[in-house]
Chain A
């Protein structure tokens, strides 16, 4: 079955963006790009919440300061944005899903195909986490303390125990931690 994978850069204090969505603290270099390129071989759909989608649709179509393979994939791959309010999704190969997110994801997982990845999108990550619909978390731990920002996990109903299935140390001091959820704890 297709997996839903969350792949997010986070700080040591658990934020995935600054208070105003700042991403200037990202530590990205060749090894990180290699990780993303490898991952793109295993996914055929990118999932977004509205805020991350709107930020990325402004950046990627004209990005000239990023890895060309990644830029190409970001623009080419099918994208789904979950939003009740977004009027249009103009970025190449995008589709809006407005309702029944959990059911839609559940159905998509049953379809043949590669995995689906979520970038950013804290609210969707938290929602799907509560629904038990995330199959794998890739926490890209940056050696940074932000002090303030937006947490990736918000309004989580229950503690969730994860299993560490793999970890990678990058020379930059970034760690990629691969986790699978185990069970809901009480």
Chain B
């Protein structure tokens, strides 16, 4: 069955972005090494899941990226979750409002995995609903001190560490599964 996979960079203190959504700390610290599991995860997926808050920035950014990775992002279908929008004027994008129904429907279809890129609130909703099958969390060696927190307010979850790797730049890439 298709799995929902979360991919997220976090700081050592558990933030995924600065207080205003800043991601500079991430880009300046992960280097350009081909260490990121992003490519492998994307290759194992054929549907991208996005929250409305970050969707526009994401959808405006990627068409400018002419790398092979960018091409894959641009051609894959995407679902944006929103309670207020009914459509978005971007190629390959559909809008859905009911997370649980939509994910159940998609998981019932044949295909590769569903990759969840954020944002913060959508990921927290997914976690609350128990919809994340695999968590790929990449810990960047930075203390941010303040910022946006993932998983705020969810009930405690104990995960199973299935794979772990330290990259040369000191990023720890951990794959966890639902227990």
Contact B25 A143 (CB under 8 A): no
Q: How many pairs of residues, A versus B, come closer than 8 Å at their CB atoms?
A: 115
Q: How far is the CB of B16 from chain A (nearest CB, A)?
A: 10
Contact B144 A159 (CB under 8 A): yes
Give the contacts of B109-159 with A (CB-CB under 8 A): 127, 135, 137, 139, 141-146, 149-159
* A72 at the B interface (CB under 8 A): no
Known: A143-B176, A156-B146, A159-B142. A175 touches B151 (CB 8 A): no
Contact B172 A175 (CB under 8 A): yes
Please name the residue on chain B nearest to A167 by beta carbon: B166
Cross-interface CB contact of A173 among B139, B146, B160, B170, cutoff 8 Å? B160
Task: Collect the chain A residues with CB atoms within 8 Å of residue B12's CB.
Answer: 14, 137, 139, 153, 162, 177, 179
Known: A169-B164, A173-B161. A145 touches B151 (CB 8 A): yes
Task: Collect the chain A residues with CB atoms within 8 Å of residue B144's CB.
Answer: 156, 159
* B29 at the A interface (CB under 8 A): yes
Contact B143 A160 (CB under 8 A): yes
Task: Collect the chain B residues with CB atoms within 8 Å of residue A163's CB.
Answer: 141, 170
Query: What residues make up the interface of B, taking CB atoms closer than 8 Å to A?
Result: 10-15, 25, 28-29, 127, 135, 137, 139, 141-146, 149-161, 164, 166, 170, 172, 174, 176
